[in-house]
Amino acid sequence: MASSLNIRLRRVRQGALLPRYMTEGAAGLDLASAAPEPITLAPGERLGVPTGFCMELPPGYEAQVRPRSGLALRHGITVVNAPGTIDSDYRGEIVVLLVNLGQSPYTIAPGTRIAQMVIASVARATIEEIDELSTTARGSGGFGHTGD
């Protein structure tokens, strides 16, 4: 069984739907548009869509905003900066940055599920500058260096 974490939310727009898991095994909470009226996203257009809530994540956690696979497959609607990161010290309204990669305009009605949010723990790194790195079999081989 997955562990539980308390996340505090505050609605900032009337009628905003709070995030929710749609199935027992869902990893992501669905996020819905809280725009006051329908928004039409033209092909190639990017837009920030308000969710109508702010949240308080515990220190050591982040929220990752990811595309919904059905919207991506059927309409080409995806999250521009996927996954978008919401830091634990951010207290503003959650806004989902969408892009229409499809060939037709797509209208997002208020309440339409537009993305999903996954809560993840974060490790903070200590940066140490050194003169030389350890060697590996791959070495400095670049992107795609390991084959298909």
- Give pLDDT tens digits for 30-78: 999 999 999 999 999 999 999 999 999 999 999 999 999 999 999 999 9
The CATH number covering residue 88 comes to 2.70.40.10
Is the predicted pLDDT of residue 9 greater than 90, yes or no?
yes
Q: Specify if 133 maps to a domain.
A: no
Owner of token pair 């974490």 = 5
- Mean pLDDT across the chain: 94
Q: Specify if 130 maps to a domain.
A: no
Q: Specify if 15 maps to a domain.
A: yes
Instruction: Provide the residue range defining the domain that includes 41.
Output: 8-121
Q: Specify if 41 maps to a domain.
A: yes
Q: Kindly indicate the confidence band of residue 147, based on its pLDDT and cuts at 50, 70 and 90.
A: low
Alpha-carbon gap, residue 115 to 49, rounded angstroms: 10
Q: Specify if 89 maps to a domain.
A: yes
Alpha-carbon gap, residue 130 to 110, rounded angstroms: 52
Alpha-carbon gap, residue 38 to 112, rounded angstroms: 9
Is the predicted pLDDT of residue 1 greater than 60, yes or no?
no
Owner of token pair 């521009």 = 80
Exposed/middle/buried for residue 14 (C-beta within 10 Å: 0-12, 13-18, 19+) = exposed
Q: Specify if 137 maps to a domain.
A: no
- Tally of structural domains, the chain: 1
Q: What does the pLDDT average to over 8-25?
A: 96
